[in-house]
Amino acid sequence: MTIGDAMSNAYDVAYQRSIEDPEGFWADAAQEIDWITPWDKVLDDSNPPFYRWFVGAECNTCYNALDRHADGGRGDQAALIYDSPVTGDTKRTYTYSELRYEVALFAGVLRAQGVEKGDRVIIYMPMVAEAVIAMLACARLGAVHSVVFGGFASNELAVRIDDAKPKVIVSATCGIEVNRVIEYMPLLNGAIDMATHKPEKCVILARPQAEVAMKDGRDVDWGGAMATAEPAECVIVAATDPLYILYTSGTTGQPKGVVRDNGGHMVALKWSMKNIYDVDPGEAYWAASDVGWVVGHSYIAYAPLLHGCTTIVYEGKPVGTPDAGAFWRVISEHNVSCMFTAPTAFRAIKREDPNGALLAEYDMSGLKSLFLAGERLDPDTLHWAEDKLKVPVIDHWWQTETGWAIASNCLGLHAFDIRPGSPTKAAPGWDVQVLDDNGQPVPAGDIGAIVVKLPLPPSALPTLYQRQDLFREKYLDQFPGYYCTADAGMIDADGYISIMARTDDIINVAGHRLSTGGMEEVLAEHVDVAECAVIGVDDQLKGQLPVGFLVLNAGTTKAGDDIVDEAVQMVRDRIGPVAAFKQAIVVERLPKTRSGKILRGTMQAIADNKEWKMPATIDDPVILDEIDAALQTLGYSDARS
């Protein structure tokens, strides 16, 4: 079928053109961005597999996010709302004009500390408005920011300092986790002591919850510096210049710094706001994430502002700040049109308030859609959210490396039927395929390695920071001509994609390749199960055997052993005896990263009594002791020694 043929919907038209004529497609999308100098070439494919978008163009990301709106009629519109239940319901709204002024002033602070175009700045901050202000100030100067999740351990921060070699670090005296104050300065000082590279200056935001002594000659007080700073204008950068570096988990020893450029990043994110999320300028968009993760970069700090929306910086949790109605309050109070968060957040809400009783306290009429990503969305959580919110609940799939959705139900183009377990179809620009271990396409409906044919669309990583060799090794060498997502799954005959597991989570039971994600999907349907995980453990006879972990709903009265028996039977009924699913155990909680990803790999290493390293991103290390104890009751972990 050619582009001119009759097609069924706007998605089909957009997708086909994006694959057949990517330069024309993205050149049209780029008209939504203000360029200082137009590009010489939309796509430079002269040095595969290193492709570059909008070569020769000049621009400034901060200008597109703030100045053009402040000067173009949105100066008095809310640009950023800071909402912090952990500090006594602190709230502050910045209009586009006010946010531009604050950002320009902090860019002046950085410039006064010697920061220039191309310099790196590490931002080690809690979820406060100043974190986004610091990111945008770097973009204003053409400096390259690298945000490190506030509260990361000193050794992990030190690794990032030595790799990025920042001229300046921006931090705060503390972060707040529900009702616990986490002092950052001991962690920051420890990291700088460990690191070979020493930053010239540290700009510190003083928070009343923790007072610290500044280091003379190194530390600069945020407030004092802002009081005397001169606002900085936007610096011209190349579209192919880096905007930021974001380190992915597991970087110790071999840092994996994902690079995002300025031009392609703006084009793709601006395009996604309407075409994927169906959000219009002026509406409030809320990504309940953290600026330390890619979601916080793409959909707190940049995309909503590029699109002229109101973005929300939320310093709180889905439960406990103060209760499981926290998200509903924010949506109601700030008239959120579209929300984006992780499935794990909704599982936590569902566990605490399974009947959704707290929803009745809030006006949710402004909410048009909920998007979920970051963990596999089980059908039970999907149906619960649909039933309670009465809006489309969209599962979409993407990665730190891609910067925006690889697959989604693109509501701004065409709303497809929602199929539980699938993030729908590949988003325009992404030529997604499924290959076997030999690099050959598999039949529709068969599980294989999910890959994307090169070139990747704008905003996807062009390389890893100072590590083109590692970029090739991690993403390109296994399937030449393709980007390897390290996810396993399938594409059905209708083009619907299903992400079954990370490639490492496909287990081999007596020669049968089985998805732990498929087993989790069944377990999650049990009426008493709030959350679950399945791992494969070593077995001398069958190679691997699945073991399930079940977190139960609050208020469940049925005995745990009975629930386990029922859950095991459900898997055997739905997947069959071939799964050899015979063991599961009830636990209080699952080990997760702070972004909500379940640490299945670490759990598997514990079960197999193999060496493992404490994940830098773990939410609470104590949980691993609980998992270890649970595994021992099943005869795994240390019990094997």
Q: Is 382 left (phi over 0), alpha (psi -120 to 50) or beta?
A: alpha
CATH among 3.40.50.12780, 3.40.50.1110, 3.10.510.20, 3.40.718.10 for 10-316+396-490: 3.40.50.12780
Q: Which residues contact 297 (CB under 8 A, 6 or more apart)?
A: 135, 147, 244, 246, 260, 291, 403
The answer to whether 10-316+396-490 and 514-640 have equal CATH topology is no
Angle of helix 185-194 relative to helix 154-164, nearest 10 degrees, comes to: 50
Confidence tier at 505 by pLDDT (50, 70, 90): low
Segment 339-362 shows an average pLDDT of 94
Q: pLDDT digit string (tens) for 511-525?
A: 566 778 778 888 999
pLDDT at position 641 is 36
Q: pLDDT digit string (tens) for 425-434?
A: 999 999 999 9
Q: Label residues 44-74 b or e (16+ Cβ within 10 Å = b).
A: beeeebbbbbbbbbbbbbbbbbbbbbbeeeb
Burial of 216 (0-12, 13-18, 19+ CB in 10 A): exposed
Q: pLDDT digit string (tens) for 375-423?
A: 778 888 999 999 999 999 999 999 999 999 999 999 999 999 999 999 9
Burial of 630 (0-12, 13-18, 19+ CB in 10 A): buried
Q: Which residues contact 561 (CB under 8 A, 6 or more apart)?
A: none
* More confident of the two residues 342 and 23: 23
pLDDT at position 1 is 30
Confidence tier at 502 by pLDDT (50, 70, 90): low
Task: Tell me the domain boundaries of the chain.
Answer: 10-316+396-490, 514-640
Q: Which residues contact 557 (CB under 8 A, 6 or more apart)?
A: none
C-alpha neighbours within 13 Å on the C-beta side of residue 374: 26
Choose the weakest-confidence range: 90-104, 282-296, 317-331, 621-635.
621-635
Answer for the pair 315, 176: CB distance below 8 angstroms, yes or no: yes
One DSSP character per residue, 327-340 reads HHHHHHHTTEEEEE
Q: Which of 354, 363, 408 is CA-nearest to residue 381?
A: 354
Across the chain, mean pLDDT equals: 92
Q: Which of 536, 504, 522, 622 is CA-nearest to residue 569?
A: 522
Segment 536-554 shows an average pLDDT of 86
Long-range Cβ contacts of 419-422 (<8 Å, 24+ apart): 419/496, 420/377, 420/379, 420/382, 420/383, 421/377, 421/378, 421/379, 421/395, 421/498, 421/521, 422/395, 422/492, 422/496, 422/497, 422/498
Tell how far CA 420 is from the center of its chain: 21
Tell how far CA 463 is from the center of its chain: 18
Q: pLDDT digit string (tens) for 219-244?
A: 999 999 999 999 999 999 999 999 99
Q: Is 307 in a helix, a strand, or coil?
A: coil
Segment 78-96 shows an average pLDDT of 96
**Residues 339, 347: Cα–Cα separation, whole Å:** 16
**Residues 204, 108: Cα–Cα separation, whole Å:** 15
pLDDT at position 211 is 87
Confidence tier at 203 by pLDDT (50, 70, 90): very high
User: What DSSP element (H or E) covers 473?
Assistant: none
Name the pTM for this structure.
0.85
Gyration radius of the chain's alpha carbons: 24
pLDDT at position 252 is 39
Is the predicted pLDDT of residue 473 greater than 60, yes or no?
A: yes
Joined tokens for residue 510: 């007596």
pLDDT at position 5 is 38
Angle at 13 between CA 10 and CA 14, to 5 degrees: 85
Q: Is 139 in a helix, a strand, or coil?
A: helix
Is the predicted pLDDT of residue 250 greater than 50, yes or no?
A: no
Token pair 């968009």: residue? 285
Answer for the pair 141, 133: CB distance below 8 angstroms, yes or no: no
Segment 535-558 shows an average pLDDT of 87
Angle at 598 between CA 453 and CA 584, to 5 degrees: 115
Q: Which CATH architecture has domain 514-640?
A: 2-Layer Sandwich (3.30)
Is the predicted pLDDT of residue 4 greater than 50, yes or no?
A: no
Confidence tier at 24 by pLDDT (50, 70, 90): very high
pLDDT at position 74 is 98
**Residues 474, 394: Cα–Cα separation, whole Å:** 29
A 10 A CB-CB count for 150 gives 27
Strand order in the sheet with 257-261: 219-221, 201-205, 168-172, 120-124, 144-147, 242-247, 257-261
Residue 514, CA distances (Å) to 436, 503, 523, 550, 579 in order? 14, 11, 15, 19, 7
Answer for the pair 523, 570: CB distance below 8 angstroms, yes or no: yes
Q: Which of 137, 136, 172 is CA-nearest to residue 151?
A: 172
Segment 432-447 shows an average pLDDT of 94
